[in-house]
Chains A and B, each alone.
Chain A
Amino acid sequence: MQRNSAFRRNSFYYILITPAVLLMVWLTVYPVLDVLVLSFYDYNYITDVRKFAGLKNFQQILSSELFRDSFVNTLIFSLAATLIEVGLGLALALAFDGEFFGKRHFMTVVIFPMMLSTMVVSAVWKTLYHQDIGLLNSILKQLSLKPVGWLIDPSRALSSIIIVDIWQWTPFTFIMLQASLQSIPREIFEAAQIDGARYPQIVFRITIPILLGQILLIAMLRTIDTFKLFGKVYALTQGGPGNATETLSTFIYREGFSYFNLGRAATASLLTLVIVSLISLFYIKKLVQEEGPNG
């Protein structure tokens, strides 16, 4: 009885949260469970044959060279892009710290690349990278250097996509780190200067240690985002040449929507889910501690 009235008193909150819960269950919880079940099935969408397969999908996927390539490519892309973006962003934040003429306008322009749609970014880089009439190769030719097969040379294609991501997202690490740098009390630096510390010492002994938490958080955000890599690959290389730029996302897309092997695509999805969760465990823990209701 008492329980019932307590519920009625709080029913307002239950009503408020219900639509969100229903939508999340429908669009995310159920699909994840479905992927879990489906990964143990042999299911072809075209023939509509669905039968239990045990661990067969897992065996096939884990021993598939394409999956391994996709995983390694995703890892390389994610690590390289994150490291360079965070490193460059930190260097820029240090270089453009403090006040100077036109700073606000400068920063507003600096974030243009991250504001552009990935498809717009891919489109312009595709023209710049073009083998015969792209601007980059034309500059190389005028300098009497050999043209580079930016997107058609298997040993280059992945790094060309990394360059695009660096161009697009270094502005993000830059403004985030620049904002955290701004929040450090100036007295700390002044005191260090009075004590005779030189600039590099201040950067490596004071600034970076203070910012370490923020740096890790931003690196985590970039790792998570780069792990989703799909649009750029789709627009720039379609996974090629060969398998040089296949990623986990393009692998799942191909299995599911080109070959209609829904079982195997689900297995790859599940494995990706596990990999991503493991990588971001630290991040989730930190954010929930900070923002969560018990924090």
Chain B
Amino acid sequence: MANVRNKSSNPVFWVLMAVILGIILFPVYWILVTSLKTPLEVVLPIPTIFPRELTLKNYIGVLQSGFLKNMGNSLVVSISSTLISLAISFCAAYALSRFRFPWITNTLFLIWILVVKILPPVVLAIPLYTMFNAMSLINRILGLVLVYQVYTLPYCIWMLFGFLKSLPLMYEEAAQIDGASKSATLWFVVLPMMRTGLVATSIFSIITAWDEFLFGLLFIRTPALRTLPLVIADYIGEYETLWGNLMAIGMITALPILLFSHFVYAYYTKGFALGDK
């Protein structure tokens, strides 16, 4: 702003930047080093900032405890709930953005989507639990995939609705004039143009499902069916100081998602630029 030009030459600016990076990165660094420390070093009364001895024992121990199964659960749940949401919400968002349903259905539907996004999920927990229990969907991966639609579906509809509204209509109109059917237009004209929007939406949806904790806690009982956040919560509650293993799990849980951060940053900056058009 006012002092843009002299920013890079101002040492205070770089000191501030170092402090911010330190605060942000230290806990991430702490996850990494704790995961590489020996069990004895973890419980020293004065924690060591730099580990004296590096070990991969924690990772090996974690992998041997059936952790890969849990990782698989997390992958299956977040990817399949996202795919289901993406397909259903793409269709719904297209209908909402291109057609006026009678009365004020469009507005009502969108308001309801927002209300669901805003609600603390625990508000729906009791009826959903009773319902899923009656349908024998408790303690099953399928149940989790279905219940995660409570998060991912409203989210995907809202995002894709925004993307579809910003799409120029002329290509669809041209296709219709050339005699393409509505479904052909949707499949061959709109879908390819929506690639960026679909990728962005699916990444955020995967992150949401990957992180979800509450319904996992309520719906899953068998340890082998747990997702990663549940395994972490279990470790925190069960073992006071088995931190090496805990942080190894944390590291493996965090890594795949951290790879998205470049993309997420680009999306937020670009998303805003689009909105200000």
Contacts and interface: CB of A to CB of B under 8 A. Distances in A.
Interface of A: 10, 12-14, 16-17, 19-21, 23-24, 27-32, 34-35, 38, 45, 92, 94-101, 104, 106-113, 115-128, 130, 132-135, 138, 141-142, 167, 171, 175-176, 178-183, 189, 192-193, 198-199, 202-203, 207, 224, 227-228, 230-231, 234-235, 238, 248-249, 252-253, 256-257, 262, 265-266, 269-270, 272-273, 276-277, 280, 283-284, 287-288, 291-294
B110 A110 contact: no
A48 to B, nearest CB: 11
B21 interface: yes
Nearest to A176: B268
Nearest to A280: B118
Contacts of A110: 20-21, 24
B105 to A, nearest CB: 9
Interface in B1-36: 1-4, 7-8, 13, 16-17, 20-21, 23-25, 27-28, 30-31, 34
B100 interface: yes
Given A27-B153, A119-B229, A269-B122, 15 more contacts: A108-B261, A117-B232, A120-B253, A124-B247, A127-B34, A127-B243, A127-B246, A176-B268, A192-B2, A230-B213, A235-B237, A253-B122, A256-B125, A291-B158, A292-B110
B7 A256 contact: no
A133 B241 CA distance: 9
B88 A35 contact: no
Nearest to A31: B127
Contacts of A134: 47
A273 B157 CA distance: 22
What 4 A-B pairs have minimum CB-CB distances, sorted nearest first?
A20-B92, A31-B127, A34-B127, A98-B4
B185 to A, nearest CB: 10
Given A16-B95, A28-B112, A116 B236 contact: no
B218 to A, nearest CB: 6
A265 B129 CA distance: 13
A133 B114 contact: no
B13 A180 contact: no
A115 B115 contact: no
Contacts of B221: none
A124 B253 CA distance: 13
Nearest to A261: B126
B92 A16 contact: yes
A10 B95 CA distance: 10
A20 B101 CA distance: 14
A20 B88 contact: yes
Nearest to A74: B120
Contact of B110 (A100, A106, A291): A291
B211 A118 contact: yes
12 contacts: A10-B99, A95-B13, A108-B262, A119-B233, A119-B250, A126-B236, A127-B34, A182-B269, A199-B1, A253-B122, A288-B107, A293-B100
A137 B257 CA distance: 31
A127 to B, nearest CB: 5
B45 interface: yes
B122 A230 contact: yes
B123 interface: yes
B116 A24 contact: yes
A19 B184 CA distance: 19
Contact of B213 (A23, A176, A234): A234
Contacts of A24: 112-113, 116, 153-154
B193 to A, nearest CB: 17
Contacts of B118: 224, 276-277, 280, 283-284
A208 to B, nearest CB: 12
B128 A288 contact: no
Given A94-B1, A117-B228, A231-B213, A138 B127 contact: no
B236 A235 contact: yes
B47 A138 contact: yes
A138 to B, nearest CB: 5
Contact of A35 (B100, B101, B126, B260): B126
B150 interface: yes
B150 to A, nearest CB: 5
Nearest to A223: B118
B21 A106 contact: yes
A119 B213 contact: yes
A284 B114 contact: yes
A235 B182 CA distance: 50
A192 B2 CA distance: 9
A38 B126 CA distance: 10
A98 B127 CA distance: 50
Contacts of B158: 291
B138 interface: no
Contact of B265 (A108, A256, A257, A276): A108
